[in-house]
Amino acid sequence: MKRSPKTEARGTLKTFPAIAELELGDLIEIFRFGYQHWVIYVGDGYVVHLAPPSDIPGAGFASLMSTLTNKAMVKKERLLDVVGRHRYRVNNKHDRKFPPLPAGKIVQAAEQLVGQEMLYRVTSENCEHFVTELRYGVAKSDQVRDVLVGVSVAGLGLAALGLLGVAVQRRRRQNQ
């Protein structure tokens, strides 16, 4: 059964979809403590993803370890090994904005990268960038955008409070 991009764009698909429900090239979002790890489905229960350069299957703290080393390995592993005990869902969230590449092309490109060491940067070359580039031909990370927007809003709020504090102090001095 083909899923509708409309349903996927809203992220209303159930968490823990059965392997049989997954389609080649699906983006899978894994909810880990403090961040989401992203993988791409390549069939037969396997995914391709960025993981720390180690021999540990599933690499539970993949993004964290890659951040510390600025390196990541492209790995093909069983989805359930990568997920571990975390929740996951299919999240082809950009299908409305960017048409997905053909599934066969996505899988072929992903599997050709397996075993390669890649540069890893949280803000520009992370696991979400990696899988969205494979699916859409465009590297995007909403996770990074959301953090940067949050930091910017917090910074503006602090700046506004600082200016308010300066104004209050000036007024007090003028009234004395």
Task: Give the DSSP letter string of 77-130.
Answer: EEHHHHHTTSEEEE--TTTTTSPPPPHHHHHHHHHHHTT-EEE-BTTTBSHHHH
Other CB atoms within a 10 A radius of the CB of residue 155 amount to: 10
Q: What are phi and psi of 44, to 5 degrees?
A: 55, 35
Task: Give the DSSP letter string of 48-60.
Answer: EEEE-SSS-TT-T
* Encoded tokens for 14: 């159930």
Known active-site residue 127: yes
Known active-site residue 94: no
**CB proximity list for 37: less than 8 A, separation 6 or greater:** 29, 30, 49, 62, 63, 82, 127
> Are 157 and 128 contacting, i.e. CB atoms less than 8 angstroms apart?
no
Which is catalytic among the residues 37, 86, 94, 129? 37
Which is catalytic among the residues 49, 86, 94, 129? 49
Which is catalytic among the residues 86, 94, 127, 129? 127
Known active-site residue 86: no
Catalytic residues: 37, 49, 127
